[in-house]
Structures are given as C-alpha cells and as structure tokens.
C-alpha cells in the first residue's frame, strides 16, 4: 500500500523518520535520587542536582541503564557495552545546568528494528538507528503570572530514552503504526508507560518528499508532536507543503517546525542558521558507562514474550489471521485475556468473541481490558455453552450483554431467563408448521424455486421461539417440510 501525493507535476513519495523521547519507568531520576513520578506540586521533586546548584554532581541511576538495555533488547538492537555521556550545551531557563546530559557519539544502544503490523495484515520493517539515555529539562510556564515566566523543575533530570528510527517510513499510516508498535513494545517491557497525554512519549517527526526512485531531499523536523493522530496529520500537511514549495519552484530549507493541530499547519521554529551549536563533549563528571555480557544476559533473561513472538505463536497455535493476532497482541493484558479465553477452546472462535464483542464493548465504554466487567473465564464459559448447544449463537450475544451489565456467570443468566436453546425437534417442528401455515403464499414461492426465502422463514421461526431454537435444526426441518 503505497502512499503517493499526486502533484501538479507528477507523483511524490514521502520519507519519514521519527525520534521518540520515551520516559524511562523508574522511581528516581537519571542522575539524582529525586522522585521521577508524574505530577506533584511544582518543584516538589527537585534535588540540588536537578536544580543545577554549584558543586552538585550527577551519579548514574543503574536501574535506568537496565531499562535502556532491556528496551534495546526488545528492539533487537545492538547493545553497546561501552557508551559515553556527553553534555549538550545551551541556555534556557528550564535547563538548570546550562547543559543537558545526553549521549552523543557512543549511545548505549545501536542499530535495531521494529516490525510494523499494517491493517491489511502486511508487515513492514523500520530500522532503529540508535537509542540513547538523556535527562529531561524542566518546564517553563508562561501563563501563570502577568510579567514573569515560572519554572517547574519536577521533570528536570528525569530519564528519557531517545529512540531514533531510520528514514524508513513512507506513509502517515506507517508512522502511526510505528509509534503504536513502539509503544506496545515499551509497555510489554515495562520500560516506559507510553502515556502520550502525560508527555511520557513525545515524537519529533522528520519529513521530506521525493520523486519515486530519487535520493533523499531536504528534511524538516517537526518538534514535540504528542499523539499518534497528530503525528499522522503533521506528516500529511508537511509533506503537502513540501510538494507545493517544490512545484512552485521553491526550495525547502532544513529547519525545525511546530505543528499546530488547530490550524492544521506547521510553522517555522528556527532555521538551520539559527540552530544551536550544542558544543557536545564527554561529561567529565561521569565515567564511561561500561557493563559486561553477564549484565546483558541477566537482563535478557527477564524479557517477556514480545508482541512479534506472541503474534507468531497466536497464528501458529490458534490458527489466527495475521491481523487478528496483531490486534490481540498490542497490549500484553489483552493477549493474556485472549489466551485465558482460548485455553482448551477453539482459538478462532475465542479470538472472534474477544475482538468483536469484548473489545467492541470495551472501546465503547472507554475501558481497559483489565477493567472488563466480563472475566476471561466467564467469556470462556459462554463459548462452551454455545459449543455444547445450550445457547444459540444469536442469544449468546444477548447473554454476553447481560453478563456485562450484571457480572454473572453465563449459565446462571441462561437458567434464570430460560434462554436455553431448544433442541427438541418436536417443538421446533411445531413452530415451523405454525409459521408455514401462517404464510402460505411465501411457502409456495419457495416450492416454486425462490429458495432464498428460506432464510426469512428461519428468522420467523427463531422469533417464534424467542431465539432459543437451534438455527441449524430449524433450517433442516424447514427444508424438509417445504422442499421435501
């Protein structure tokens, strides 16, 4: 599925690379013991180190390093056993040290990959260039005081992983799928909560366009895009802008831009000429970060089954389609729910119930799978009731809705409400006879060849029996009675 912009002068292809800043899940900040939790009163979680006081020194939080290595392993990336922290120097009021401690030439994680699951069931591989650790800056607030900007340093020093992709994406959909997949992997690993609205995942989007087959053209970087939807929108409008500029005979200048979702446009933040000279150099306060194979192996041993492996297993063990499998593995909790339902049952039927009915209801109610009113074993019981013929497929949906409302086991609901499927052929025959007798013309039409009408008769019989009749049995009896 290629994404092509039809320009006045021909087709254009879009080239996208993403830099994702993911906040490391950790109790403490990257270089100080202060709390890294979200929220709190302004400047509540700030040590003298985070505030850049004289004589204060950073000390690496080993847990954050483990988290970065874990993430690198999850991205099937090269782990660099020796990496170096460097200072990125620039002045800003919410950057207390006057530099950000980051990694520059030697990041902790090197080249890796992320596999995208596209809605049509296809896959695409996006290369990861690197992952490095760095500290977050504080927050400037310009709307709290008539004449002053206020600074909140709670976030200052919080550990971030900057995950840089290769320019491998070719459509807004792929970029969206990349962010979602990355978030899924991070959540499986427990290394980042992926909450974009709390800012624990932020995206910088690099966009350029080119004629198919051409080399790369100049890119622009759109800073701080904070939702999957905005990432996709920003790419769309930025790519269109590039096409318009080129087709108008203009040039794209390398620059940093901001996306305004209200106006649906990007605008220039600073051009390359005004770009900072960050004067990176190795931070003399920190020794190079070094660990051995045993350290990596220890972390590797703690890795959970990740989405790609899970997806492959679901396809293999449960016979699911690539799409169904990818939908189920997006969140570890959803996958676990599915497996609890599917255990000892037909995997495809379980997947169908989980995806169509359960996820549908959850989405409508805005609930997480962990908050589902219907427990996995209850949904399993319902499937069992369908399988052993106790309840019809049609009534089962109704039973499911009652389970959602009343949180009772399906057997209890079926019993209480008399929803058991009628398999007694005498009762079904009587009902069929009644319907045929009441609709002699339609019955004749069938006998005269309009066999499709049989579905209508089935519907009527089902109605007559309040859905309790076994639809298979109904069809068989009707056919026998009407067609001989």
Partner 1 sequence: MTKLTSLTIAQCRDGLRKGDFSARELTATYIQAMEAHRDLNAYITETPDIALSRAQDADERLKAGTAGAMEGIPVAIKDLFCTEGVLTTAASHILDGFKPGYESTVSANLKKAGAVMLGKTNLDEFAMGSSNMTSYYGGVKNPWKRQGEDTDLVPGGSSGGSAAAVAAHIAAAATGTDTGGSIRQPAAFCGITGLKPTYGRCSRWGVVAFASSLDQAGPMTRDVRDAAIMLGAMAGHDPKDATSANLPLPDFEAALTGDIRGLRVGIPKEYRPDGLDPQIQALWDQGVEWLKAAGAEVREISLPHTKYALATYYIVAPAECSSNLARYDGVRFGLRVDGDSLDDMYMNTRAAGFGSEVKRRILMGTYVLSAGYYDAYYLKAQRVRTLIAQDFANAFKDVDVILTPTAPSAAFGMGENMDDPITMYLNDVFTVPTSLAGLPGLSLPAGLDTQGLPLGLQLIGKPWDEETVLRVGGVLETAAGFTAKPALVGG
Per the CB < 8 A criterion, the answer to whether 212 and 10 are in contact is no
The residue among 287 and 483 lying less far from partner 1, judged by its C-beta, is 287
Kindly give the pairing relationship between strand 281-282 and strand 85-89: antiparallel
Residue of 5, 35, 42, 56 interacting with partner 1 (CB under 8 A): 56
Of 85-93, 207-215, 260-268, 432-440, the window that binds partner 1 (rule: CB under 8 A) is 85-93
Q: In the 8-state DSSP scheme, what is residue 169?
A: B
Residue 57 class from Cβ within 10 Å (0-12 exposed, 13-18 middle, 19+ buried)? exposed
Please report whether residue 89 would count as binding partner 1 according to CB under 8 A.
yes
Residue count, binding to partner 1 (CB under 8 A): 30
Least Å from the CB of residue 297 to partner 1: 25
Please report whether residue 63 would count as binding partner 1 according to CB under 8 A.
no
Per the CB < 8 A criterion, the answer to whether 86 and 104 are in contact is yes
Per the CB < 8 A criterion, the answer to whether 103 and 85 are in contact is yes
Least Å from the CB of residue 269 to partner 1: 16
Of 52-60, 260-268, 324-332, 437-445, the window that binds partner 1 (rule: CB under 8 A) is 52-60
Cα–Cα separations (whole angstroms), residue 144 to 140, 141, 148, 151, 247? 10, 6, 8, 10, 44
Please report whether residue 475 would count as binding partner 1 according to CB under 8 A.
no
Least Å from the CB of residue 87 to partner 1: 5
Query: Among 464, 446, 447, which Cα is nearest to 455's?
Result: 446
Least Å from the CB of residue 296 to partner 1: 21
Of 58-66, 69-77, 230-238, 449-457, the window that binds partner 1 (rule: CB under 8 A) is 58-66
Per the CB < 8 A criterion, the answer to whether 256 and 221 are in contact is yes
Least Å from the CB of residue 164 to partner 1: 20
The residue among 57 and 437 lying less far from partner 1, judged by its C-beta, is 57
The residue among 56 and 296 lying less far from partner 1, judged by its C-beta, is 56
Least Å from the CB of residue 152 to partner 1: 13
Map the footprint of partner 1 across residues 239-278, applying CB under 8 A. 277
Least Å from the CB of residue 284 to partner 1: 4
Please report whether residue 322 would count as binding partner 1 according to CB under 8 A.
no
Residue 324 class from Cβ within 10 Å (0-12 exposed, 13-18 middle, 19+ buried)? buried
Residue of 51, 228, 379, 477 interacting with partner 1 (CB under 8 A): 51
Least Å from the CB of residue 406 to partner 1: 58
Least Å from the CB of residue 133 to partner 1: 14
Least Å from the CB of residue 52 to partner 1: 4
Return the SS3 of 59: coil
Residue of 39, 54, 213, 248 interacting with partner 1 (CB under 8 A): 54
The residue among 141 and 375 lying less far from partner 1, judged by its C-beta, is 141
Please report whether residue 64 would count as binding partner 1 according to CB under 8 A.
no
Residue of 17, 58, 74, 410 interacting with partner 1 (CB under 8 A): 58
Q: In the 8-state DSSP scheme, what is residue 355?
A: I
Query: Among 151, 153, 51, 58, which Cα is nearest to 102's?
Result: 58
Alpha carbon distance 260, 445 (integer Å): 63
Map the footprint of partner 1 across residues 148-187, applying CB under 8 A. 149, 151
The residue among 101 and 220 lying less far from partner 1, judged by its C-beta, is 101
The residue among 34 and 128 lying less far from partner 1, judged by its C-beta, is 34
Alpha carbon distance 289, 291 (integer Å): 7
Residue of 6, 8, 91, 262 interacting with partner 1 (CB under 8 A): 91
Per the CB < 8 A criterion, the answer to whether 227 and 199 are in contact is no
Least Å from the CB of residue 54 to partner 1: 5
DSSP string computed for 320-346: --HHHHHHHHSSHHHHHHHHHHHTTS-
The residue among 50 and 66 lying less far from partner 1, judged by its C-beta, is 50
Query: Would you put residue 23 in left (φ > 0), alpha (ψ -120 to 50) or beta?
Result: beta
**Chain position carrying tokens 């006081």:** 53
Torsion of the alpha carbons at 64, 22, 187 and 127, rounded to the nearest 10: -110
- The mark string for 275-314 relative to partner 1 (x by CB under 8 A, - otherwise) is --x-xxx--xxxx---------------------------
Alpha carbon distance 15, 179 (integer Å): 16
Q: Nearest-5° angle of CA 353, CA 174, CA 192?
A: 75
> How many angstroms from the chain centroid is the CA of residue 371?
18
Please report whether residue 141 would count as binding partner 1 according to CB under 8 A.
no
**Chain position carrying tokens 């830099």:** 19
Kindly give the pairing relationship between strand 255-260 and strand 220-225: parallel
Map the footprint of partner 1 across residues 95-134, applying CB under 8 A. 96-99
Least Å from the CB of residue 143 to partner 1: 16
H helix intervals, 190-271 = 228-247
Of 22-30, 55-63, 225-233, 243-251, the window that binds partner 1 (rule: CB under 8 A) is 55-63
Residues at the contact surface with partner 1, assessed by CB under 8 A: 48, 51-60, 87, 89, 91-93, 96-99, 149, 151, 277, 279-281, 284-287
């Amino acid at each position: 599925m290629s994404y092509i912009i039809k320009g006045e002068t021909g087709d254009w292809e879009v080239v996208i690379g993403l830099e994702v800043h993911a906040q490391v899940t950790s109790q403490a900040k990257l270089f100080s013991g202060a709390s890294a939790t979200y929220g709190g009163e302004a400047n509540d979680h700030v040590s003298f180190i985070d505030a850049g006081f004289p004589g204060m020194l950073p000390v690496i939080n080993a847990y954050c390093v483990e988290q970065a290595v874990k993430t690198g392993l999850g991205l099937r990336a090269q782990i660099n056993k020796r990496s170096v922290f460097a200072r990125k120097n620039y002045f800003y009021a919410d950057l207390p040290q006057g530099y950000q401690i980051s990694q520059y030439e030697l990041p902790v994680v090197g080249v890796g990959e992320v596999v995208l699951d596209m809605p049509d069931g296809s896959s695409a591989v996006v290369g990861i260039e690197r992952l490095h650790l760095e500290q977050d800056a504080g927050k400037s607030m310009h709307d709290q005081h008539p004449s002053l900007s206020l600074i909140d340093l709670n976030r200052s020093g919080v550990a971030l992983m900057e995950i840089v992709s290769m320019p491998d994406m070719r459509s807004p959909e792929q970029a969206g799928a990349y962010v979602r997949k990355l978030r899924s992997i991070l959540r499986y690993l427990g290394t980042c909560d992926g909450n974009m609205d709390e800012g624990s995942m932020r995206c910088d989007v690099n966009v350029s366009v080119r004629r198919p087959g051409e080399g790369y053209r100049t890119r622009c970087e759109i800073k701080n895009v904070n939702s999957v939807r905005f990432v996709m929108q920003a790419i769309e409008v930025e790519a269109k802008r590039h096409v318009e500029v080129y087709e108008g005979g203009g040039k794209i200048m390398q620059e940093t831009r901001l996306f305004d979702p209200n106006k649906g446009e990007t605008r220039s933040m600073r051009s390359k000429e005004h770009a900072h000279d960050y004067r990176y150099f190795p931070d003399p306060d920190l020794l190079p970060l070094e660990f051995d194979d045993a350290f990596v192996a220890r972390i590797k041993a703690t890795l959970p089954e990740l989405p790609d492996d899970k997806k492959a297993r679901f396809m293999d063990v449960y016979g699911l389609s690539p799409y169904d499998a990818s939908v189920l593995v997006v969140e570890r909790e959803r996958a676990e729910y599915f497996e609890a339902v599917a255990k000892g049952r037909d995997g495809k039927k379980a997947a169908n119930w989980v995806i169509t009915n359960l996820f549908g209801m959850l989405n409508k109610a805005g609930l997480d799978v962990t908050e589902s009113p219907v427990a996995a074993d209850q949904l399993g019981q319902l499937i069992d009731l369908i399988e052993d013929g106790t309840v019809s497929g049609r009534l089962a949906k109704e039973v499911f809705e009652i389970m959602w409302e009343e949180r009772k086991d399906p057997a209890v609901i079926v019993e209480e409400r008399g929803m058991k499927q009628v398999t007694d052929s005498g009762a079904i025959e009587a009902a069929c006879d009644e319907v045929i007798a009441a609709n002699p013309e339609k019955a004749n039409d069938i006998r005269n060849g309009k066999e499709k009408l049989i579905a209508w008769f089935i519907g009527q019989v089902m109605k007559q029996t309040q859905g309790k009749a076994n639809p298979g049995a109904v069809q068989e009896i009707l056919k026998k009675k009407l067609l001989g």
